[in-house]
Amino acid sequence: MPTPFELVFGVAVLVGLGVLFVFGRRLAGAFLRYRGTRVVVCPENREMVAVRVDAGHAALSAPQGRPELRLESCTRWPEKRGCGQECLGQIEAAPQACLLRNILGDWYQGKSCAFCGRSFHAIHWHDHAPGLVAPDGKIVAWDAFRAEQVLDVLATHKPVCWDCRVAESFRREHPELVTDRPRPLGPPPSMV
Ligand SMILES: [Zn+2]
């Protein structure tokens, strides 16, 4: 039979673990929710800016209640470093919608590649990032743009899948090395 002390100690350990679990979940949840580059409208000049929330600070303040948001960086800094960070209201209202990765992912969804016509499904940004065709027909990768330009780019460019981006870029850079063969019939071998 456990002694009363052992019982109390056991209950205290369980309660402690429970509190740690709840706090840990809130902490990790806030960190994951607020990390990443976001595109918002700067309330001061009404132009798009790319910002990053201090996810570490949001996470550490999350267990006490609502996570406290503050900016870690903004494309208008350092000139506007002392701004009131009013754009945080947009992030608080819709943290996922202004996340750059989500904006781009949503844009590709339901569209088809301007070259091969295949539809986009899940995008693998780390190793098979799709690209774009500029209005002048040039193929460009996303790293050619700044995050705050993204909405303008989406309005003027067409989507290109990773396969075509790599193949077409190579074809344009080394036309002497490329021989065109007719495409095989049948369903495409893989989707982006
Ligand atoms: Zn394609």
Q: Cα(105) to centroid of ligand 1, in Å? A: 16
Phi, psi dihedrals of residue 27, rounded to the nearest 5°: -60, -50
| 159 alpha carbon – ligand 1 mean position (Å) | 9
d(CA 74, CA 85): 9
Residues near ion ligand 1 (CB < 5 Å) are 113, 115-116, 161, 164
Q: List alpha helices for 35-143, DSSP H.
A: 55-61, 88-93, 100-108
User: By the 8 A CB rule, do 142 and 129 touch?
Assistant: yes
Q: How far is the CA of 1 from the centre of ligand 1 (A)?
A: 70
CB 67 within 8 A of CB 30: yes
pLDDT in tens, the chain (192 residues): 788 888 888 889 999 998 888 888 888 988 999 999 999 999 998 888 999 999 999 999 888 888 899 999 999 999 999 999 999 999 999 888 899 988 999 999 989 999 999 999 888 888 999 999 999 999 999 988 998 899 899 999 999 999 999 998 888 888 777 676 655 555 555 544
- Global pTM reads 0.73
Q: Which helix (H) or strand (E) holds 131?
A: strand 131-133
Q: Give the Å distance between the CA of 115 and the centre of ligand 1.
A: 5
The tokens of 75 are what? Answer: 């494309």
- Ligand 1: centre distance to CA 161 (Å): 4
